Amino acid sequence: MHNAEQTSNGCIIRAQERDPNGMRCLVENCPRDRAVEVADVVPRERSADHKFMTSIEWSWNMRKGTLNLDCHRNIFFLGASLHSLYKSGLWALLPEEHIVDRYMDEPPGRFAKTALEREEFPVVEGETFQYTFLPLSDMSSFGITRQNQETNLADPTAFTTHLHPFSTLPSFTSHVHPNFVILRIACLLHHKSRDPYVTKLRNTNPVVRKLHDFFPAWVLGELPPWALTDPTFTTVIAREERKGEKEEDEEGEDSQISSETQSDYHYEEPEYDSCGTCTPPRRIWFPPPKSKGVSDKGLGAKRSSSEVEDLRFEHRGKYRKLSAHFPHEHSHGDDPQSNWTKESTSDWARHCSNSPPPTGPCSGSRFGVGETGEGGGPAAPMIKLVHPHIRVEIDADEVVL
């Protein structure tokens, strides 16, 4: 998994300000000096899965590339041990049923409810919401000790121990948003769908049964064919407007292309919102996977999505022009479709032979210093030009392609 940027200070500050529990562990209610950690509702690493993120953005009626998991509504505070169990998927937060129902339609008759489509996705507003502790596996070997009061800790009632299935735990008030809570538990229920414990839970808990259907609706479903031309989802511009000129030999290709938003596949160095008052509408930045044979120095350490797209079109056009302008290997006649002739090629060769030795990709003289050519005489000037698609050797007036 690629390394993401760290949780921004601005995000943590906003979570601290809006957390109704004062940064205490949401479940144990212990103070933050007892190893309380910042926890993600939906793991931030999911931002590296572009297909996953695009599906969620479409389902949630968002613009492509604007879902930021580095958001104060996606982080809360947990003690270290419970945080470790949470990241392992052993438990999750369960929203109230009436909140879950707001994300589902109400078909007539006895048909089961299904997740709402993009156009009907609800805007659920609220400063805080209520959640309960839901174990997703047999946690009979675990006990949760919850602090009931902040003062007089010597009082026997100051702490209460709760055991599996933790039905004695009270509900929790949190600032985290149901969008993220539902997505997290839906993913876990899907990946644990064959677990006997989860199967029993789904059959006995009506809320869990409803939540199980969100994963195929939000994540597994394919985007409709018109998604990438939907102006409410992504920006669509003409290729000629983007490039400033028509691409050669592009007959039969669509004249419209989908332009990624600036935040989608955000390859630029991230700007941290340490003092920001709101979450920037962009995905969490992850280093792009390196292509084989391409180094960071070749494409630059920083490259925005538009620059990468332009580079791809630019190189594709250049390769096509090179293949059209150079005769086929072993061909010595003039190419009627090319601007190159034998005379112009020879002039170009003589010019190159009189130029200083090339640097970088060019390997310079074929002969080392002090070497001689055939017959003991001085070596003829030889320059090798190395290109991913073309290899050119220049020897006096002779050109070999």
Q: Is the dihedral of CA 91, 96, 102, 108 positive or negative?
A: positive
Per-residue tokens: 400 = 């070999």
267 or 222: which carries more pLDDT confidence?
222
282 or 217: which carries more pLDDT confidence?
217
Q: What is the mean pLDDT of residues 347-373?
A: 53
Q: What is the mean pLDDT of residues 325-347?
A: 55
| pLDDT for residue 339 | 62
Distance separating alpha carbons of residues 297 and 129, to the nearest angstrom: 48
- For the cut 70, the answer to whether the pLDDT of residue 87 exceeds it is yes
Distance separating alpha carbons of residues 29 and 25, to the nearest angstrom: 5
316 or 44: which carries more pLDDT confidence?
44
| pLDDT for residue 6 | 74
Question: Who contacts 141 (Cβ-Cβ below 8 Å, separation ≥6)?
Answer: none
**pLDDT mean across residues, the chain:** 75
Q: What is the mean pLDDT of residues 322-344?
A: 50
Reported as a pLDDT band with limits 50, 70 and 90, residue 296 is very low
- For the cut 70, the answer to whether the pLDDT of residue 132 exceeds it is yes
Per-residue tokens: 26 = 């949401």
Give the pLDDT confidence of 276-288 residue by residue, as tens digits.
Answer: 456 666 676 556 6
| pLDDT for residue 156 | 83
Q: CB neighbours (10 Å) of residue 51?
A: 9
| pLDDT for residue 190 | 97
Top-ranked range on mean pLDDT: pick from 3-7, 269-273, 378-382: 3-7
Give the pLDDT confidence of 49-61 residue by residue, as tens digits.
Answer: 999 999 999 999 9
Q: What is the mean pLDDT of residues 284-308?
A: 48
| pLDDT for residue 150 | 81
What DSSP character marks residue 104? Answer: B
Q: What is the mean pLDDT of residues 76-104?
A: 97
Q: What is the mean pLDDT of residues 374-396?
A: 52
Reported as a pLDDT band with limits 50, 70 and 90, residue 9 is confident
Q: Which residue has the tokens 């809320």?
A: 207
DSSP for 208-276, written as a single string? HHHHTTHHIIIIISPPPTTGGG-TTTSEEEEHHHHHSSPPTT-TTS-SEEEEPPTTTT--SPP---TT-
- For the cut 60, the answer to whether the pLDDT of residue 172 exceeds it is yes
Per-residue tokens: 347 = 């002039």
Reported as a pLDDT band with limits 50, 70 and 90, residue 274 is very low
Distance separating alpha carbons of residues 83 and 72, to the nearest angstrom: 17
Q: Is the dihedral of CA 206, 207, 211, 212 positive or negative?
A: negative
Distance separating alpha carbons of residues 144 and 160, to the nearest angstrom: 8
Distance separating alpha carbons of residues 191 and 43, to the nearest angstrom: 15
Reported as a pLDDT band with limits 50, 70 and 90, residue 235 is confident
Q: What is the mean pLDDT of residues 228-247?
A: 66
Of 11-15, 138-142, 284-288, the one with minimum mean pLDDT is 284-288
Top-ranked range on mean pLDDT: pick from 64-68, 243-247, 309-313, 315-319: 64-68
| pLDDT for residue 244 | 52
Q: What is the mean pLDDT of residues 3-24?
A: 86
- For the cut 90, the answer to whether the pLDDT of residue 202 exceeds it is yes
What is the four-CA torsion angle of 54, 58, 59, 62, rounded to 10 degrees? 110
Per-residue tokens: 146 = 């919850």
| pLDDT for residue 157 | 87
Q: What is the mean pLDDT of residues 262-281?
A: 46
- For the cut 60, the answer to whether the pLDDT of residue 313 exceeds it is no
Q: What percent of the chain has pLDDT over 70?
A: 59
Question: Who contacts 224 (Cβ-Cβ below 8 Å, separation ≥6)?
Answer: none
